[in-house]
Copies of this chain bind each other. A is one copy, B any other.
């Protein structure tokens, strides 16, 4: 049975010292949010650790039951959802006029992460509702908003996104579901959708489907798709004309219903403008993509905690430099460098992703709340740029770290008993849904880089340059700022190569897109780790003398180290590991990107 303990200390560090959200005293809601931080995190942790986490294994083993259109969730899920709603956890960030608490995203992200660590399958239902609310807030008329938002925000109802059809996945232009206008202003929606997460479940009284469909006069392709709100239960209490026809059998997220949905003249209402469903859906998708990135983070964190706990207890072999615990049968496997390499990787990547997530969350809040439009725009640029990176990198790493976690446990990782296998199986889907990670990379390279003549890029390059300049005269920071400058240059070289060659031949851009996105993420994490190291170094009694090259001068300081000091020492050690063992990947990525697309576009994949 796996364990889970919410990383509250790291959240507090990130909000208070790393983001320094209190710098923005003028932004509405920030001051109150910082005051609320600790009690809110404590309460959220309690729910996740004590209620959601124990149900994770139950959900995986029991799975879902399908009964003639109804879907029965595993034991305890209904009750847990009730607690989630009663705690007000679905209301945090939403506007108070619809019953929300109007809190900033940087307080919501920790809760999202904790839910994903504790029970991803459970979290998907409120997660999708979150996306549906975003779309309705921005695109629905007041009547729809008033009728549906209060209960979606309270969590009494859930919302789902219905895009995919058997022939239309990444290419939504192929959507064939039809919507026929009725005299009363409603529409009848007819068609089949697949892969609809939470399309049917028994935890909420109503499920609000947001369905992509075509009006009779719709142009072909993606410019002829409209968005419809199709509730499961109508306002008169009758059941709408759609049904879950089957559940998919999946590698993981066994407690999350992946539904085949049949709409048979179901009543719905147009959200936004005719034929403009795709842009509306993308509002929802962008929020959803960040959330999916948080899923990767949550699973990496959960797997890391369990891998460390196991490695500290498991006795096998002896340290290469001589037995560490000669009176025990063997040393704990944390003495072995390769096991440490895996554990440090999991720690450095998980905490690095958390910093990236929180940095992005703060920028979302500034983009929404700052009084100055220019500041809002700049913050939004950063969010736009980082969305495909958060989604792509964090879900790749969620899976890779969960797989490393399996490796740390060896045979015990491969059997289902310890829960590591579930983390890995669950972690494989976020790389695919809400746009595959290949699609994310194309979004970065095809849209985000060129947007507004490269303006988005500046929202990243400028602060990194500024950070390097700020620490130029600090010798203690040179071990980070020098390599950061070097690796930033690799990213800039790759960016230039993409700009020059991708324009002439889009296949050059496409062939290196995934590698470019990875390179970007690695440099972003290098910047975030250097910033964390800079903070750690200001706690100089614990860290200032702990540099590897400084030898044993820090022993005295270390002896006095309080728990708090240990936290900063560990941050510094993790930053060093990241720079030594993870960041060097950039060099090969640059070489592979600039190799271009000739070998990729060549003939010969199939030989008869």
Task: Give chain A's interface residues, CB within 8 Å of chain B.
Answer: 9, 164, 167-171, 173-174, 194-195, 248-252, 258, 308, 312, 315-317, 320-321, 329-330, 334, 336-344, 347, 399, 403, 406-407, 410-411, 413-417, 421, 424-425, 428-429, 431-433, 436-438, 441-442, 505-507, 509-511, 513-514, 548, 563, 566-567, 569-570, 572-574, 576-577, 579-581, 584-589, 591-592, 595-608
Chain B residues whose CB sits within 8 angstroms of the CB of A417 once the complex forms: 248-249
On whether A171 and B414 interact (CB within 8 A), knowing A344-B605, A548-B602, A599-B581, the answer reads no
Contact (Cβ within 8 A) A580 B604: no
Contact (Cβ within 8 A) B574 A604: yes
Contact (Cβ within 8 A) A438 B407: yes
Find A407's partner among B9, B321, B437 (CB 8 Å cutoff). Answer: B437
User: 3 tightest A-B contacts by CB?
Assistant: A337-B510, A570-B604, A584-B591
Chain B residues whose CB sits within 8 angstroms of the CB of A600 once the complex forms: 337, 340-341, 344, 577, 580-581
Contact (Cβ within 8 A) B592 A580: yes
Contact (Cβ within 8 A) A338 B438: yes
Contact (Cβ within 8 A) A606 B312: yes
Find A507's partner among B248, B321, B506 (CB 8 Å cutoff). Answer: B321
On whether A164 and B329 interact (CB within 8 A), knowing A341-B514, A584-B588, A600-B337, the answer reads no
Tell me, rounded to whole Å, the shortest Cβ–Cβ distance linking A419 to chain B.
Answer: 11
A-B contact pairs, 18 of them (CB 8 A): A251-B416, A308-B606, A312-B606, A321-B506, A338-B442, A338-B514, A407-B436, A407-B437, A411-B432, A424-B428, A548-B599, A563-B608, A566-B607, A570-B604, A573-B602, A576-B598, A577-B602, A581-B592
A607's closest neighbor in chain B, by CB? B570
Contact (Cβ within 8 A) A438 B595: no
Contact (Cβ within 8 A) A429 B414: yes
Contact (Cβ within 8 A) A573 B603: yes
Tell me, rounded to whole Å, the shortest Cβ–Cβ distance linking A567 to chain B.
Answer: 5
Contact (Cβ within 8 A) B577 A174: no
Contact (Cβ within 8 A) A338 B510: yes
Find A337's partner among B321, B411, B601 (CB 8 Å cutoff). Answer: B601
Find A169's partner among B308, B411, B438, B573 (CB 8 Å cutoff). Answer: B411
Chain B residues whose CB sits within 8 angstroms of the CB of A513 once the complex forms: 337-338
Find A603's partner among B438, B569, B597 (CB 8 Å cutoff). Answer: B569
A220's closest neighbor in chain B, by CB? B329
Find A605's partner among B194, B343, B511 (CB 8 Å cutoff). Answer: B343
Q: For the complex formed by this chain, how many copies does it contain in all?
A: 2
A595's closest neighbor in chain B, by CB? B580
A319-B284 Cα distance, complex, nearest whole Å: 27
Chain B residues whose CB sits within 8 angstroms of the CB of A580 once the complex forms: 592, 595-596, 598-600
Contact (Cβ within 8 A) A167 B315: yes
A595-B580 Cα distance, complex, nearest whole Å: 6
Chain B residues whose CB sits within 8 angstroms of the CB of A577 once the complex forms: 599-600, 602
Tell me, rounded to whole Å, the shortest Cβ–Cβ distance linking A496 to chain B.
Answer: 18
Contact (Cβ within 8 A) A598 B548: yes
Chain B residues whose CB sits within 8 angstroms of the CB of A584 once the complex forms: 588, 591-592, 595
Chain B residues whose CB sits within 8 angstroms of the CB of A597 once the complex forms: 337
Chain B residues whose CB sits within 8 angstroms of the CB of A316 once the complex forms: 168-171, 174
Find A414's partner among B173, B251, B410, B604 (CB 8 Å cutoff). Answer: B251
Tell me, rounded to whole Å, the shortest Cβ–Cβ distance linking A66 to chain B.
Answer: 14
On whether A336 and B510 interact (CB within 8 A), knowing A250-B421, A580-B592, the answer reads yes
On whether A602 and B576 interact (CB within 8 A), knowing A403-B428, A413-B432, the answer reads yes
A597-B164 Cα distance, complex, nearest whole Å: 48
